[in-house]
Amino acid sequence: MKILVCISKTPDTTAKIAFTDNNTKFADGGVQFIVNPYDEWYALVRALELKEAGLATTVTLVNVGGADNDPIIRKALAIGGDDAVRINLESGDSFTIASQIAAVAKDGGYDLVLTGKETIDYNGSSIGGMVAELLDAPYVSLATKLDAAAGNLTATREIEGGEEVAELSLPAVISCQKGMAEQRIPNMKGIMGARTKPLAVKEPVATDALTSIVSFELPPAKAGVKLVSADTPEELVRLLREEAKVF
């Protein structure tokens, strides 16, 4: 089983969110970028575990982005993976990115494509499903567990108020979230080794974007907290009932 893990670059979880160019561009000055946590902690680590258990032969990382994504790809390679492919496309909507990933998956004959549950910047939760449709493959989204046996997978996915277990055949696409694996910290050997792992850069296939971002905006500022004295908690209950009307 050959696994393809989708890796995206996102601003650090503590990054200040601000916009420039008339609110059309994320202000990335001084912002630290990281591997999207769902991709790194869950999709990648579970892929590595499957390989370590002898259930996968290779783990390849794929990223769609410009050359400035290379440090992020190396960071992910420091955790593990045999090699990486970067599709040299600066930006695109979810469908454009999914089309690139699907093309890589098809050309490389990958059996299993793993994505994160969502990117923490765009929050699309969309690319996995799109890749699956383009590959005409089954898709389990928001998976919390994944096990493999010869030619078959068992995946558990989150549903409202519980979970659902399903069996599916390969090739398949799975989007991963917490529960799937435990975060791994790269060690020195991994970091050194990542420098020399193959990172192939390929040109994108032709696709059309279906959507485009017109502008960003920040939510209106909160009016400020209304503090109630610890001596009169009943006043809080009154405010919640009469002013906020929550119960």
Partner 1 sequence: MVLIFADQTDGQIKKQAFEAISYGAKIAGQTGTTAEVLVLGTVENAASTLPALGKYGASRVHYADNPAFNGFDAQVYAAAIADAATAAGADVIVFSNTTSGKAIAPRLSARLKAGLVAGAVALPDTSAGFVVKKSVFSGKAFANVAINTPVKVISLNPNAFGIQTSETTAEVVSINLTPSAGKIKVTSVNKVTGTVPLSEAELVVSGGRGLKGPENWHLVEDLAKEIGAATACSRAVADAHWRPHHEHVGQTGGAIAPNLYFAIGISGAIQHLAGVNRSKTIVVINKDPEAPFFKAADYGIVGDAFEVMPKIVEAVKKMKAVG
Ligand X SMILES: Nc1ncnc2c1ncn2[C@@H]1O[C@H](COP(=O)(O)O)[C@@H](O)[C@H]1O
* Binding residues vs ligand FAD (CB under 6 A): 13, 37
For ligand FAD, the closer CB: 208 or 231: 231
Restricted to residues 86-145, the positions that interact with partner 1 (CB under 8 A) are 93-95, 98, 120-130, 132-134, 136-142
Please report, as a single letter, which amino acid is at residue 236.
Answer: L
Sequence-distant (6+) residues with CB within 8 A of 244 are none
CA 233 to chain centre: 42
Q: Which stretch binds ligand X (CB under 6 A): 18-26, 63-71, 155-163, 232-240?
A: 63-71
Closest residue to ligand X, judged by C-beta, is 116
207 lies in the binding site for ligand X (CB under 6 A): no
CA 77 to chain centre: 15
Residue 105 tokens read as 């998956």
151 lies in the binding site for partner 1 (CB under 8 A): no
41 lies in the binding site for ligand X (CB under 6 A): no
CA 238 to chain centre: 43
Q: CA-CA distance, 51 to 148, in Å (whole number)? A: 10
Q: CA-CA distance, 98 to 100, in Å (whole number)? A: 5
Question: Beta 83-88 vs 199-202: how paired, if at all?
Answer: parallel
29 lies in the binding site for partner 1 (CB under 8 A): no
Q: Residue 62: which of partner 1, ligand X, ligand FAD, none does it interact with, CB under 5 to 8 A by kind?
A: ligand X
For ligand FAD, the closer CB: 11 or 37: 37
Which long-range contacts (C-beta less than 8 Å, at least 24 apart) are formed by 118-124?
118/38, 118/175, 119/8, 119/10, 119/36, 119/38, 120/10, 120/11, 120/13, 120/36, 120/37, 120/38, 121/10, 121/11, 121/26, 122/94, 124/94
Which residue among 125, 141, 156, 177 contacts ligand X (CB under 6 A)?
Answer: 125
Which residue among 122, 191, 202, 236 contacts ligand X (CB under 6 A)?
Answer: 122
Q: Residue 142: which of partner 1, ligand X, ligand FAD, none does it interact with, CB under 5 to 8 A by kind?
A: partner 1
How many residues at the interface with ligand X, by CB under 6 A? 24
Which residues of this chain interact with ligand X, rule CB under 6 A? 6-8, 36, 38-39, 43, 62-65, 94, 97, 115-116, 118-119, 122-128
